[in-house]
């Protein structure tokens, strides 16, 4: 049994699942639109939380929140289910497929067999759509992969019940009711306001302030924790910024694409100018990643290099602060 489902590749899995499920239900919503309305953009630094023996840096809000905010802002109702028992989780999935209902699943990446080994880490907030079952294999639309694929019952159970941080617990979700027409205008304004507020939040672990905290630490790290660990941390920053799913430049390009689309919908030319500014900021994040990679590639220990990339990051923090102060007033 196979549901007629159109697979579109996206940069990020959560946006992609939402965008594909919306399209399946007759609403044409792009990936950047989902990301912008869901206020996906962020910067956050969590030095007390370690992944792969390095602190957590993230360029987006926590998993699941994009969909939640997007649905609320456009008036879509979502049904979410989590399970203790894998058998019940499987039965509920099969029931939905039998009803011709493609569903979103949260899964762990470590046991996802179609990913290259090198990319399989214990990351539990990946998303995919299951759109059918043939010969005991589930048909999978994974938004970050070009083409559709499939998993055996056992393989799917393993990734649905991955353990560790953000354990999915079989998490399954799908939209159940829609408004007659999507009121994107209001949703866009809400999305932009929230992102501006988040990025300018007066807390050290979020937004522009968090970028500045990282700047301070990059200057201190070589002396405090040694160059080897510093380089490992820098590598972690670059990986989080550019790993599969960000669309380049730590989601800044996706956000610029959103602002460009929003300027047309709201008929607001200034937003299109802001889109250009955000593209420039994205380019600066890329330059930062390139220069950081030069440091850990050469394993050079001259502190000048560290100070130089810290300067670059400080410049980005200043630009993003000015950017969101301005953006907030335009909607």
**Contacting positions for other proteins (CB under 8 A):** 9-11, 32, 50, 52-53, 110, 114-116, 118-122, 144-146, 163-165, 167, 231-232, 234-236, 238-239, 242-245, 247-249, 253-254, 256-257, 260-261, 275-276, 279, 282-283, 286, 289-290, 292-293, 296-297
**Residues 107, 109: Cα–Cα separation, whole Å:** 7
31: nearest Cα among 180, 247, 194, 208: 247
Provide the minimum distance between the beta carbon of 98 and other proteins in the complex, in angstroms, as a whole number: 31
Provide the minimum distance between the beta carbon of 36 and other proteins in the complex, in angstroms, as a whole number: 12
**122 or 193: whose CB is closer to other proteins?**
122
**22 or 289: whose CB is closer to other proteins?**
289
Provide the minimum distance between the beta carbon of 314 and other proteins in the complex, in angstroms, as a whole number: 20
**53 or 329: whose CB is closer to other proteins?**
53
SS3 of 145, please?
coil
292: nearest Cα among 281, 308, 278: 308
Side-by-side strand order, sheet with 126-134: 77-81, 172-177, 103-107, 126-134, 137-141, 149-152
**119 or 225: whose CB is closer to other proteins?**
119
Provide the minimum distance between the beta carbon of 248 and other proteins in the complex, in angstroms, as a whole number: 5
**22 or 238: whose CB is closer to other proteins?**
238
Provide the minimum distance between the beta carbon of 114 and other proteins in the complex, in angstroms, as a whole number: 7
SS3 of 224, please?
helix
**249 or 305: whose CB is closer to other proteins?**
249
Structure-token match 């990946």, residue found:
126
SS3 of 176, please?
strand
Q: Could you tell me the two tokens for 110?
A: 């470590």
To the nearest 10°, report the CA torsion of 214, 219, 223, 227: 70
Provide the minimum distance between the beta carbon of 225 and other proteins in the complex, in angstroms, as a whole number: 14
Helix, strand, coil abundance in the chain, percent, nearest 5: 55, 15, 30
Provide the minimum distance between the beta carbon of 279 and other proteins in the complex, in angstroms, as a whole number: 7
**58 or 275: whose CB is closer to other proteins?**
275
Q: For the chain, list the strands marked E by DSSP.
A: 41-51, 54-60, 77-81, 103-107, 126-134, 137-141, 149-152, 172-177
**Residues 155, 265: Cα–Cα separation, whole Å:** 43
Q: How many CB atoms lie within 10 A of CB 62?
A: 12
Q: Let me know: does 171 contact 106? Beta carbons within 8 Å.
A: yes
**197 or 276: whose CB is closer to other proteins?**
276
Provide the minimum distance between the beta carbon of 152 and other proteins in the complex, in angstroms, as a whole number: 15
């Amino acid at each position: 049994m196979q549901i007629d489902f159109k697979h579109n590749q996206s940069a990020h899995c959560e946006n992609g699942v939402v965008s594909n499920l919306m399209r399946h239900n007759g609403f044409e919503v792009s990936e950047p639109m989902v990301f912008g309305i869901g206020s996906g953009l962020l910067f956050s630094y969590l030095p007390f939380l370690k992944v792969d023996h390095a602190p957590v840096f993230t360029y987006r809000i926590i998993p699941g929140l994009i969909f939640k905010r997007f649905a609320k802002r456009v008036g879509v109702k979502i049904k979410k289910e989590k399970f203790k028992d894998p058998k019940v989780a499987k039965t509920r999935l099969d029931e939905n497929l039998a009803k011709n209902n493609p569903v979103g699943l949260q899964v762990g990446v470590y046991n996802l067999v179609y990913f290259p080994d090198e990319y399989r880490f214990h990351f539990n907030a990946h998303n995919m759509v299951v759109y059918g079952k043939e010969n005991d294999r589930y048909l999978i639309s994974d938004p970050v992969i070009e083409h559709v694929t499939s998993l055996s019952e056992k393989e799917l159970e393993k990734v649905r019940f991955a353990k560790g941080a953000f354990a999915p617990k079989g998490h399954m979700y799908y939209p159940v009711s829609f408004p007659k027409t999507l009121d994107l205008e209001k949703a866009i304004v809400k999305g932009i306001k929230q992102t501006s507020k988040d990025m300018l939040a007066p807390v050290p672990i979020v937004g522009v302030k968090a970028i500045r905290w990282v700047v301070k630490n990059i200057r201190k790290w070589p002396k405090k924790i040694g160059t080897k660990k510093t380089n490992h941390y820098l590598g972690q920053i670059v990986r989080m910024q550019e790993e599969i799913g960000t669309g380049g430049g730590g989601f800044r390009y996706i956000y610029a694409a959103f602002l460009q689309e929003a300027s047309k919908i709201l008929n607001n030319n200034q937003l299109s100018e802001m889109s250009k500014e955000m593209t420039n900021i994205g380019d600066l994040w890329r330059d930062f990643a390139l220069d950081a990679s030069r440091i850990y590639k050469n394993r050079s220990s001259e502190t000048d290099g560290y100070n130089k990339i810290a300067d670059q990051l400080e410049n980005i923090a200043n630009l993003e602060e000015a950017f969101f102060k301005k953006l907030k007033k335009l909607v």
